[in-house]
């Protein structure tokens, strides 16, 4: 858990104020934001597809599957590329674990691309998203201990 930084300051009225923040590097903030943003953006992209599945609208599911894949894949590649630019020693362990899962997801998704012969198989794509997002979320939580994070990472990599 990051250390808290407390700093007293004078407000314009003359009263004392207290500024509280976490002591973290810009790399930590960037990595945290990237992974959290990826989770949120991916969930938003998948929500419309999920609604169509829930409604039993097979035609709409078919229309939405490939665009959803491309949105998720774009967000994933963008996040992985940026995380790769941050040196390993500058990342917190939870961000390194998230990066490892995202790289594995990228590898898996590339095997199931609509551009490959045979096209996109919806089953593995949906399974990938429904296992990746909860795993990233669990690893990103401050209260998740190292042992649990490693279990989540190993479980995700086993598929």
User: Domain with 113 in it: what CATH number?
Assistant: 1.20.120
Q: Does residue 108 fall inside a structural domain?
A: yes
CA dihedral over 77, 74, 140, 120, signed as positive or negative: negative
Q: For position 6, what pLDDT does the model report?
A: 65
Q: For position 7, what pLDDT does the model report?
A: 73
Contact 102, 80 (CB under 8 A): yes
Largest pairwise CA distance in the chain = 70
Q: Does residue 72 fall inside a structural domain?
A: yes
How many independent structural domains does the chain possess? 1
Domain range for 89: 25-158
The parts of the chain modelled with pLDDT lower than 50 are none
Query: At a CB cut-off of 8 Å and minimum separation 6, what does 108 contact?
Result: 124, 128
SS3 labels along 68-81 = HHHHHHHHHHHHHH
Whether this model's pTM surpasses 0.85: no
């Amino acid at each position: 858990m990051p250390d808290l930084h407390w700093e007293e300051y004078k407000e314009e009225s003359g009263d004392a104020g207290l500024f509280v923040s976490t002591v973290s590097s810009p790399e930590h903030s960037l990595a945290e934001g990237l992974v959290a943003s990826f989770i949120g953006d991916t969930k938003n992209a998948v929500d419309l597809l999920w609604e169509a599945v829930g409604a039993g609208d097979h035609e709409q599911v078919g229309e939405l599957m490939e665009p959803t894949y491309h949105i998720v894949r774009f967000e994933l590649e963008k996040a992985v590329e940026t995380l790769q630019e941050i040196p390993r020693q500058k990342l917190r362990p939870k961000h390194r674990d998230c990066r490892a899962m995202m790289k594995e997801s990228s590898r898996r998704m590339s095997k199931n691309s609509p551009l490959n012969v045979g096209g996109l198989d919806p089953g593995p794509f949906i399974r990938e998203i429904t296992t990746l997002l909860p795993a990233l979320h669990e690893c990103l939580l401050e209260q998740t201990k190292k042992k649990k994070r490693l279990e989540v990472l190993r479980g995700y990599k086993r598929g």
